[in-house]
Structure 1
């Protein structure tokens, strides 16, 4: 998934959870931790794999349930000791939504079920053979592949659904009062 897709997917899930569990909407703090949690696996893995070559792939350490689950247990335990324990829940849900999105995305786009990365390092990661130029080169390569996919009939349908996802997230965020935006900036 692309960063905007991870953000939209996470926001919709967390906002829905807030409404169901607490009959409330996400706070400013929750909105920030949703963004961090939704992007954290990629912020860990992509630079370490594509930029520094320390990890075998852009879906390994930060995407592994063997790492993520213990980290989230600590976050939730620490969250219970704060003024806003719901923010820790928002972070956990957003982070897990990232992993779910990375399983769903290739399934929807190419019909492939990719789950091996969830058990890295016990299950070897799929190493992408192509690409050069480090982090920037890899992003450009993937974006080019994405644009080529969008030119297909299946890609056009995917784009429509993708735009719908992002627009739905923006609409829900707006209805939630635009959490994360300072009051002085809100219209």
Structure 2
């Protein structure tokens, strides 16, 4: 999945959670935490790959051996500081990233590419890229098509929700 789409999925998942749990759209800071956490696996792994530290862009930050302890640590720290909503947002965002990296490989039968889930215990071969999903009307439909729909839906929902998180970057207006 493209990195920006992970951010979108993180927002969609957190927005769904806040509607289900609280009956409202996401608040600014937790929404921002969810989106940041949704991109964190790539923020960790892509630079490490580019620097030649790891062989592929899905290793440390994508491995459940790293993810689970990190999510638990953030949850404990957030709980102790009475900021459980931020711990929940972080968990939803980060876990949405890992969960959405799985389906494309399952649908395309590239099961060996799921090695990232337990890296370094399991090997992670080079990522083969965009996956074909089928042909509709003579046009090959790939994962990029579905990702574009997900991105558009997330941006539309975020906009309708009042663009949570944006106000945190605006200078305060003093009268």
Question: One fold, TM greater than 0.5?
Answer: yes
Shift of 1:18: 1.1
1:9 and 2:9 are equivalent in the alignment: yes
Shift of 1:6: 0.6
1:100 and 2:86 are equivalent in the alignment: no
1:112 paired residue number: 110
Gaps (5+ residues) in structure 1?
131-141, 147-151
Shift of 1:159: 4.5
Matches within 5 A, 1:11-30: 11-30=11-30
The answer to whether the 8 Å contact 2:10/2:97 transfers is yes
- What is the alpha-carbon distance in structure 2 between the residues aligned to residue 73 and residue 25 of structure 1? 25
Normalized per residue, the structure richer in helix is 1
1:172 and 2:170 are equivalent in the alignment: no
- Number of residue pairs matched by the alignment: 165
Gaps (5+ residues) in structure 2?
132-137
- What is the alpha-carbon distance in structure 1 between the residues aligned to residue 154 and residue 126 of structure 2? 32
Normalized per residue, the structure richer in strand is 2
Cα root mean square deviation, aligned: 2.7
1:80 paired residue number: 79
Structure 1, residues 29-73: CA drift from partner, whole Å, max 9, x if none?
112212211111011111112x21111221110000011100100
Shift of 1:23: 2.1
For normalisation by structure 1, the TM-score amounts to 0.77
CA distance 1:165–1:71, shift in 2 (3 Å): same
2:67 paired residue number: 68
